[in-house]
């Protein structure tokens, strides 16, 4: 059976009246020259248009298009705004993924309350498919959040959400979570691939036509990836991962951001008043000890987006069990640890191939940049020889396979951060003010540990 072709209709821009022929005057409202050529599209209902009619898309010169400068919406939470690139861009969709209980709903409830307080007359629609209105109100009361101006909608039906969007035209729309939303047009079972793609497309289509922001939470798999089709991540503008360490610390990191950097890291502490941003993370990632620093610990300075902070790398080496050595590291890539250990074994003669290597980072932050290589090498050497590095020491540099300590970006800022936090001995590949220059791993080991 052939598909029904889309037909042309004419819609009034004043009253949305449609008819099959063009007229100079709208027969419904009497306005002149308001009938515009449109397409009778059966999918237009899904895009929240009136009467199943979609306006024809026409090309426009790029030079006539105005950029969305200054169109950001401040969430009122500094660490959240940092990860978003300075605030949530209007007409954008944000997807936040994280394991159950990590604080996604808490973060979004705090955001809804603070956006309401910052934007006079701003409408907020909070859609929950997992909790009742009483549960959410109880959380707001515990956190001391004002509930004025926040409209609650506890439903799983997309059609109910559409009606609420048309009636309220909110500035901020929160959907918690997108996996619970279903539409009768795509079936009756929430969470299927078709449901996720269909419902997400409908909501994103609505927000793209208005100066609003859509934030959706998403379930994750046991590997920490957002559950559902990968196309869900392609549909949105920003994908944010919510992680945590073993303590009450939360890390917010953008995996995709069309309006900002993906290098920024937001750090929160979960308190009885909700999530609170941590402005100075170095106090979390460097352990304050009474007495001397034990062996196997080295400090380095890392950059996460636009800020630098000092971190403590911890290493432990023990004889390998059954003669097969392994690397146990979940905060630093295991391949990087194995590569640095191989360079040490080749260039210094210190044997690591018969050792199990355990690597940790104080505070639970995940490190990915190459500037940590030299400090990682020092921590491994310290753990193997039982010689301490020293608590007032920081080591910065990338390690090549030839054993060279290579320069790293923004060394001056790293050195300043380390000095401000009390590091008197600094080792780096360049002779910055107050630094000891080291050119290769052998020289670094000699200077750090002595002859």
Answer whether 289's CB lies under 8 Å from 295's CB: no
What's the burial of 2, exposed, middle or buried (CB within 10 Å: 0-12/13-18/19+)?
Answer: exposed
Give pLDDT tens digits for 261-294: 888 888 898 888 899 988 777 767 777 777 788 9
Cα distance between residue 79 and residue 361, in whole Å: 21
The band of 108, judged by pLDDT with boundaries at 50, 70 and 90, is very high
Cα distance between residue 363 and residue 390, in whole Å: 19
The lowest-confidence range among 49-58, 220-229, 365-374 is 49-58
Cα distance between residue 232 and residue 222, in whole Å: 18
Answer whether 239's CB lies under 8 Å from 255's CB: yes
Q: Considering all CA atoms of the chain, what is the largest pairwise distance in Å, rounded to the nearest integer?
A: 95
The band of 109, judged by pLDDT with boundaries at 50, 70 and 90, is very high
- Tally of residues, the chain: 451
Answer whether 40's CB lies under 8 Å from 7's CB: yes
Give pLDDT tens digits for 310-344: 999 999 999 998 778 899 998 999 999 999 999 99
What's the burial of 252, exposed, middle or buried (CB within 10 Å: 0-12/13-18/19+)?
Answer: buried
**235 vs 307, more confident:** 235
Nearest to 216 by CA among 276, 127, 304, 333: 127
pLDDT of residue 341: 96
Q: Which whole number is the average pLDDT over 25-34?
A: 88
- What count of other Cβ atoms lies within 10 Å of the Cβ of residue 19? 14
pLDDT over 70 for what percent of the chain?
92
**Residue 408 pLDDT > 60, yes or no?**
yes
**Residue 304 pLDDT > 90, yes or no?**
no
DSSP classification of residue 441: H
Give pLDDT tens digits for 1-21: 344 455 788 888 888 788 888
What's the burial of 24, exposed, middle or buried (CB within 10 Å: 0-12/13-18/19+)?
Answer: exposed
Q: Which whole number is the average pLDDT over 118-135?
A: 84
Strand partners, 315: 359
The band of 428, judged by pLDDT with boundaries at 50, 70 and 90, is very high
Strand partners, 327: 357
Q: Which whole number is the average pLDDT over 182-205?
A: 87
Angle subtended at Cα 221 by Cα 105 and Cα 128, rounded to the nearest 5 degrees: 25
The lowest-confidence range among 53-57, 82-86, 241-245, 423-427 is 53-57
Q: How far apart are the first and last CA of the chain?
A: 86
């Amino acid at each position: 059976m052939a598909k029904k072709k889309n037909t042309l209709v004419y819609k009034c821009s004043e009253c949305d009246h449609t008819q099959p022929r063009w007229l100079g005057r709208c027969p419904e409202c009497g306005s002149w020259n308001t009938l515009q050529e449109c397409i009778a599209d059966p999918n237009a209902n899904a895009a929240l248009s009136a009467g199943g009619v979609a306006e024809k898309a026409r090309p426009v010169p790029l030079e006539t298009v105005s950029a969305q400068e200054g169109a950001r919406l401040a969430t009122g939470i500094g660490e959240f705004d940092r990860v978003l690139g300075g605030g949530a861009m209007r007409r954008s969709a944000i997807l936040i993924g994280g394991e159950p209980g990590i604080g996604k709903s808490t973060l979004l409830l705090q955001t809804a309350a603070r956006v309401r307080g910052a934007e006079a007359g701003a409408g907020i629609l909070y859609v929950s498919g997992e909790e009742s209105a009483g549960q959410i109100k109880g959380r707001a009361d515990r956190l001391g959040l004002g509930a004025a101006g926040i409209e609650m909608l506890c439903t799983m039906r997309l059609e109910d959400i559409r009606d609420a969007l048309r009636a309220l035209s909110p500035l901020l729309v929160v959907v918690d979570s997108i996996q619970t939303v279903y539409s009768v047009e795509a079936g009756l079972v929430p969470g299927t691939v078709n449901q996720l793609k269909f419902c997400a497309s409908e909501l994103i289509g609505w927000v793209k036509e208005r100066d609003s922001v859509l934030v959706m939470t998403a379930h994750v798999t046991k590997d920490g990836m957002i559950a559902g089709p990968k196309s869900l991540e392609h549909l949105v503008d920003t994908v944010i991962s919510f992680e945590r360490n073993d303590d009450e610390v939360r890390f917010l990191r953008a995996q995709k951001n069309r309006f900002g950097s993906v290098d920024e890291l937001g750090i929160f502490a979960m308190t009885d008043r909700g999530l609170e941003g941590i402005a100075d993370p170095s106090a979390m990632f460097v352990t304050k000890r009474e007495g001397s620093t034990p062996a196997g610990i080295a400090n380095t300075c890392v950059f996460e987006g636009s800020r630098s902070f000092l971190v403590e790398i911890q290493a432990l080496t023990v004889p390998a069990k059954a003669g097969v050595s392994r690397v146990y590291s979940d905060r630093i890539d295991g391949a990087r640890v194995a590569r640095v250990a191989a360079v040490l074994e080749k260039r210094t003669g210190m044997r690591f191939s018969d050792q199990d290597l355990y690597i940790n980072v104080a505070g639970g932050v995940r490190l990915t940049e190459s500037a940590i290589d030299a400090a990682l090498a020092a921590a491994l050497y310290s753990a193997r020889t039982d010689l301490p590095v020293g608590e007032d020491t920081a080591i910065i540099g990338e390690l090549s396979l030839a054993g060279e300590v290579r320069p790293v970006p923004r060394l001056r800022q790293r050195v300043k951060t380390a000095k401000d936090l009390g590091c008197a001995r600094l080792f780096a590949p360049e002779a910055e003010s107050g630094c000891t220059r080291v050119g290769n791993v052998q020289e670094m080991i000699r200077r750090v540990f002595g002859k």
